[in-house]
């Protein structure tokens, strides 16, 4: 064995002389690319800042909100609620 004056004198160097460096040079970017694809496929979807689409309100929900805002009296609320529930 020729002494090049390098550290380990062929121990680790011989391991990399067999082309392991070439495999590492290709494997690392390939693994990074696969990780990026995995992230892009599985990342959470954003709705432009909206958490989720609001649930469709029923007429009774609208009536309750109207009453809660004080736009109708209690009597009006009860009458309209009864009318809606009879349907």
Quick one: pLDDT band at residue 50, thresholds 50, 70, 90? low
Cα torsion through 74, 75, 81, 86, rounded to 10:
160
Whether 42 has a pLDDT exceeding 60, the answer reads yes
For residue 24, the model assigns a pLDDT of 77
% of the chain beyond a pLDDT of 90: 43
% of the chain beyond a pLDDT of 70: 68
Whether 73 has a pLDDT exceeding 90, the answer reads yes
Q: Give Cα separations from 39 to 6, 29, 35, 50, 51 (angstroms).
A: 41, 15, 6, 21, 20
């Amino acid at each position: 064995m020729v002494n090049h004056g390098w550290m380990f004198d062929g121990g680790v160097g011989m391991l990399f002389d067999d082309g392991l460096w070439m495999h590492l040079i290709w494997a690392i970017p390939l693994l990074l690319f696969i990780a990026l694809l995995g992230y892009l496929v599985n990342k959470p979807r954003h709705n432009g800042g909206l958490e989720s689409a609001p649930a469709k309100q029923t007429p009774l929900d609208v009536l309750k909100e109207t009453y809660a805002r004080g736009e109708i009296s209690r009597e009006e609320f009860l009458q309209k609620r009864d009318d809606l529930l009879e349907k």
